[in-house]
């Protein structure tokens, strides 16, 4: 699954040049055991460039740090922030913080999952939508809260998911057929 080359990460992608230059600036000494301390900041940088950390990016970093791919993968797997799956063009984030949760955020999440046919952490096959969960966004008064890209939807009710998705489909220039 992770082996498939995504268009973002072919070697001609300018992102690799940027990442390479960034790692150059860290002046990694391949035999210094402390070089691993710079790995996490490099992963942050890489994720900001590519949006996620696919195997090709991990191996690129592993090579530059003279560590194994397994090591890089292990570090990534430890931190929730890092993701190895690409995000959709439209990123739907459902807040699972305490206030949202007690106001039924899990049901809202299910709604979105059912509507798009994917689970939290996944992206639709056409790359348009991804769902993820996050912790408190600081808008508890609006609980339950859904973030779509940077737009906040408050007091989301069950059944509203499809309407929200529709708004973005319209943006893609597609009317949704009435069923």
Q: Report residue 22 as tokens.
A: 């960034």
- Helix or strand (DSSP H, E) at 93: strand 90-95
Instruction: Identify whether 144 is preceded by a cis peptide bond (ω within 30 of 0).
Output: yes
Task: Output 1 or 141, the one with its CB closest to another protein.
Answer: 1
Q: How far is the CB of 68 from another protein (least distance, A)?
A: 2
Beta bridge partners of 141: none
| Non-local CB neighbours of 108 within 8 Å, separated by 6+ positions | 94, 144, 146, 156, 158, 160, 161
Q: How far is the CB of 36 from another protein (least distance, A)?
A: 12
Task: Output 29 or 174, the one with its CB closest to another protein.
Answer: 29
70 scored as a contact of another protein (CB under 8 A) = yes
Q: How far apart are the C-alpha atoms of 93 and 152, rounded to whole Å?
A: 10
77 scored as a contact of another protein (CB under 8 A) = yes
Q: How far is the CB of 132 from another protein (least distance, A)?
A: 17
Backbone angles phi, psi at 32, to 5 degrees: -85, 120
Q: Residues 79 to 118: which contact another protein by CB under 8 A? A: 84
72 scored as a contact of another protein (CB under 8 A) = yes
Among 47, 73, 106, 110, binds another protein (CB under 8 A): 73
Q: How far apart are the C-alpha atoms of 93 and 132, rounded to whole Å?
A: 5
Task: Output 78 or 178, the one with its CB closest to another protein.
Answer: 78
Q: How far apart are the C-alpha atoms of 59 and 48, rounded to whole Å?
A: 17
Q: Residues 35 to 54: which contact another protein by CB under 8 A? A: none
Stretch that binds another protein, among 37-45, 72-80, 105-113, 125-133 (CB under 8 A): 72-80
Interface ranges with another protein (CB under 8 A): 2-3, 55, 58-59, 67-74, 77-78, 84
């Amino acid at each position: 699954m992770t082996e498939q080359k995504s268009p973002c990460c072919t070697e001609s992608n300018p992102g690799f040049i940027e990442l390479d230059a960034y790692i150059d600036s860290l002046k990694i000494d391949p035999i210094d055991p402390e070089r691993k301390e710079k790995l996490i900041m490099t992963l942050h940088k890489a994720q900001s460039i590519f949006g996620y950390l696919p195997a090709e990016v991990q191996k690129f970093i592993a090579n530059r740090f003279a560590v194994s791919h397994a090591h890089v993968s292990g570090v990534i797997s430890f931190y929730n922030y890092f993701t190895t799956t690409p995000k959709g063009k439209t990123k739907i984030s459902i807040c699972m913080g305490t206030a949202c949760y007690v106001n039924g955020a899990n049901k809202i999440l299910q709604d979105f999952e059912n509507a798009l046919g994917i689970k939290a952490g996944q992206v639709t096959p056409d790359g348009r939508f991804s769902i993820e969960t996050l912790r408190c966004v600081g808008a508890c008064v609006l609980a339950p809260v859904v973030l779509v890209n940077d737009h906040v939807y408050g007091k989301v009710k069950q059944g509203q998911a499809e309407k929200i998705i529709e708004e973005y489909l319209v943006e893609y220039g597609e009317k949704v057929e009435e069923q």
